Amino acid sequence: MALNECERKVAVSVFLGVDIGGSGVKGALVDVATGELVSARYRVATPRPATPDAVLKVVEQVVRHFEWKGAFGCTFPGVTVSDTILTAENMDPGWVGVNAGVAITESTGLRVTVLNDADAAAIAESTFGAGSGVRGTVLLLTFGTGIGSGLIHDGVLVANTELGHLEFRGMKAEDYAAARLVEREDMRIDWWASRVNEFLVHVERLFALSRIIFGGGIAKRFDEIEPFLTVQTRVVPAALLNNAGIVGAAYTAGQRYGSADND
């Protein structure tokens, strides 16, 4: 059926975003002109072990749920260069070396763009959210199963920074201060917030930051965390909360594939 001009504009600005995380694979349709979700989120628990085959099946399930037929965007919680996975700390090591772009296209029949989850969230926040219009260096940190980092300088992403893997207090920073300590290991939020602050103080010594964006599902408890933060840099909760990865994935697909696949 031919679409009129108005319907066409609506159709071409919508892309599917899929966010593969350590605990869930989430998807939604996103208006990439505004960054708004135009569908409910659909979430499937990340299979364990999170092997390529098992996770690819879940991605396919998410695509099928939305009956999506166009190009789409997908995040991965590890270093991702030209669609290839180089690290998979919180996933199955079988992912390392896999060209996720090729694998997802083979299993779904659709074109896809793949990027690191925190990088996607940083793109979304700097385009539509808490980093929008901020000059200089903005750092988004996502606190979840691990700690992800997305570094943006004057609106441009410096991909795959991996600050959650800095060695800190004799361990990886994400083992010291990831939100899973609160969400799954029952650490008191005030103890955890003090740890996060120590980490932020350390990061602030390394970068001259205009703003730190505090992301991940736990950002909804930012009011309880903020009193423990002593860093000089302004720290703000992510405006898109836990949807930033989905929005960034969809937006990146929109940038790469434009309207060609979706009208």
**Looking at 23, 46, 87, 161, which residue binds ligand BGC (CB under 6 A)?**
87
Residue number, 79 or 112, with CB nearest to ligand BGC: 79
Q: How far is CA 178 from CA 99, 172, 195, in A?
A: 27, 10, 9
What letter would DSSP give residue 172? Answer: E
Footprint of ligand BGC on residues 130-149 (CB under 6 A)?
Answer: 142, 144, 146, 148
**Looking at 90, 126, 197, 243, which residue binds ligand BGC (CB under 6 A)?**
90
Interface stretch with ligand BGC, choices 56-64, 75-83, 199-207, 217-225 (CB under 6 A): 75-83
Answer yes or no whether residue 77 interacts with ligand BGC by CB under 6 A. Answer: yes
Distance between CA 226 and CA 12 in Å, rounded? Answer: 40
CB of 242 to ligand BGC, least distance (A): 12
Answer yes or no whether residue 248 interacts with ligand BGC by CB under 6 A. Answer: no
In a 3-state reduction of DSSP, which class is residue 33? coil
> Tokens in use for 133?
């219009």
Residue 110, exposed/middle/buried by CB under 10 A (0-12, 13-18, 19+)?
middle
Answer yes or no whether residue 252 interacts with ligand BGC by CB under 6 A. Answer: no
> Tokens in use for 6?
């108005």
Q: Are 190 and 224 in contact (CB under 8 A)?
A: yes
Interface stretch with ligand BGC, choices 24-32, 110-118, 126-134, 200-208 (CB under 6 A): 110-118
Distance between CA 263 and CA 232 in Å, rounded? Answer: 47
Footprint of ligand BGC on residues 46-65 (CB under 6 A)?
Answer: none
Q: Are 199 and 186 in contact (CB under 8 A)?
A: no
CB of 11 to ligand BGC, least distance (A): 32
Interface stretch with ligand BGC, choices 2-10, 97-105, 160-168, 248-256 (CB under 6 A): 160-168
Instruction: Give the number of residues in contact with ligand BGC, rule: CB under 6 A.
Output: 18
Answer yes or no whether residue 118 interacts with ligand BGC by CB under 6 A. Answer: yes
Answer yes or no whether residue 164 interacts with ligand BGC by CB under 6 A. Answer: yes
**Looking at 35, 117, 218, 262, which residue binds ligand BGC (CB under 6 A)?**
117
Q: Residue 124's closest CA among 86, 158, 155? A: 155
Distance between CA 112 and CA 56 in Å, rounded? Answer: 13
54-59: which pairs have CB atoms within 8 A and are 24 or more residues apart? 54/92, 55/20, 55/25, 55/91, 55/92, 55/95, 56/103, 56/104, 56/107, 57/107, 58/25, 59/18, 59/20, 59/25, 59/104, 59/107, 59/108
Answer yes or no whether residue 174 interacts with ligand BGC by CB under 6 A. Answer: yes
Answer yes or no whether residue 162 interacts with ligand BGC by CB under 6 A. Answer: yes
Binding mask 22-41 for ligand BGC (x = CB under 6 A): x-------------------
Interacting residue ranges for ligand BGC, rule: CB under 6 A: 22, 77-79, 87, 89-90, 116-118, 142, 144, 146, 148, 162, 164-165, 174
